[in-house]
Amino acid sequence: MSLIKVPSTRFGEQEIEEEKVIRMPEGMLGFPDKRFVLLTPPKPGPFLWFQSAEDPNLAFVVVDAKECVPELTFPLTSDEFQKLELDPERPDLIFLLVVTMAPDPLDITVNLQGPIALNAEKLIAKQIVLDGVNYTTRHPFFAPAARQAAGRDTA
Amino acid sequence: MLVLSRKVGEVIAIGDQISVTVVEVKGGTVRLGITAPQDMTIYRQEIYLKVQQENKQAADWNLDDLERIAALAGTGEKE
């Protein structure tokens, strides 16, 4: 098992087993990077870091869709299924939602329109693009109730 | 840019694997039917650009942001 060093401007240099590098042949839309690592923050919580293994500056905060919108399903086309090299019998599939920060932390959103589909077994990922009313790019992460309780939502 | 005029029901072939059919023209909107190989992804361009733009914005964050949201999510306020 060989360790590789992944420099990161936010988290310092991380040592990762090479086998844990996620391949993303088509990258994140708008970015050239093809290799990422998924880092777990020291404090437990729903948020993970999706750090580029090629650009120390590029990292996304992501959250498992099951933790956030368990009721929502994300359809894959047969082509996407194949590109992710998923096992048709037992697809080990996780959807990660990209978090967009906001000045007020209660206003952070997740992108339901462009989730990252991840083959958790083979560590191949692809950002898919979905069309439909359920899939907005800015879905509030915190429920309106929580926002109201904090007095931030008067609507 | 190549510009072609087509009537409803007429087709444009792009190579031998892609065809675009004009299905309907109504009130300033053109409905197109597209046949293409499975491995080609077809999006309405504005959706693609929207996700791309959201990615750019999502990539712009710092550790303070993460500290603050992690503190909130830890209090059970999460959806």
Chain A residues in contact with B78 (beta carbon < 8 A): 46, 67-68, 141-143, 146
Average pLDDT over residues A2-18: 90
Write the residue in B44, B62, B73 that is nearest to A131 by C-beta.
B44
Task: Find which of A129, A131, A147 to mutate to test the B interface (most B CBs within 10 Å of its CB).
Answer: A129
Decide the pairing of beta strands A22-23 and A14-17: unpaired
Q: Round to the nearest angstrom and report the end-to-end CA distance of chain B.
A: 48
Is residue A153 situated within a structural domain? no
Rounded Cα distance, A97 and B78, in Å? 15
pLDDT of A152 reads: 63
Write the single-letter amino acid at B36: A
pLDDT of A40 reads: 86
Is residue A31 situated within a structural domain? yes
Nearest-Cα distance to chain B for A69, in Å, is: 8
Residue A15 has pLDDT above 70, yes or no: yes
Residue A153 has pLDDT above 80, yes or no: no
Determine the structural domain holding residue A73 and report its residue range: 3-146
Is residue A151 situated within a structural domain? no
Residue B79 has pLDDT above 80, yes or no: no
Average pLDDT over residues A8-15: 90
Average pLDDT over residues B38-58: 90
Residue B78 has pLDDT above 50, yes or no: no
The residue with tokens 């086309």 is A77
A10 near A22, Cβ under 8 Å? no
Domain count, chain A: 1
Tokens read off for A80: 């996407």
Domain ranges in chain B?
Answer: 1-39, 43-79
Q: How many CB pairs under 8 A join A and B?
A: 110
Tokens read off for B46: 């504005």
Average pLDDT over residues B40-46: 84
When pLDDT is cut at 50, 70 and 90, the band that residue B64 belongs to is: confident
How many alpha carbons fall within 13 Å on the CB side of residue B10? 7
Task: Find which of A98, A130, A131 to mutate to test the B interface (most B CBs within 10 Å of its CB).
Answer: A98
Is residue A154 situated within a structural domain? no
